[in-house]
Amino acid sequence: MRLRAVTIVVALIVMTVGAVASKEERVQEGRDEAGPVKHHSLYVIFYRPGPAWKDGEPMSRQGLRPHGMYLKRLLEEGKLMAAGPLPEMNGGLVLTRVDSRDQAMAIVESDPAVKTGVFVAEVRSWVIRFTDGAVSPER
């Protein structure tokens, strides 16, 4: 239930952030208003504490440096759109930019924090129905 609430909040945040594009930008792109787009899927990774998580310790003391470096590399490679912590649940969220669920699962399986058990992860598909272009699975 908590994960579903976080999913909804994240979707609202992403839509709100996307809404800041000005009308002039949309006109330059050939669109005078934000509207429906083709149904593209993104894959969202939710991280939560795993069996090696140290209860009572803050996220900063969980040995997540290799995890952060891994995500930074994936961002530089164009495989991620955004990533960051969800402190209220001692976890995190990643918006991927990959072509399949298998590729998103490969990201999870290679993640140092998952390998060491600090995090467990869940991959969910997210269908973009409306966007102003700021959020897009297109590269």
Write out pLDDT tens, residues 90-123: 999 999 999 899 999 999 999 999 999 999 999 9
| Domain annotation for the chain: domains and CATH numbers | 2-131 (3.30.70.1060)
> At residue 9, does pLDDT exceed 60?
no
Q: For the whole prediction, is pTM greater than 0.75?
A: no
The confidence band for 26, taking pLDDT boundaries of 50, 70 and 90, is very low
Cβ atoms of 113 and 64 within 8 Å: the answer is: yes
**Angle 12-49-4 from CA coordinates, rounded to 5°:** 30
Average pLDDT, rounded, for the chain: 78
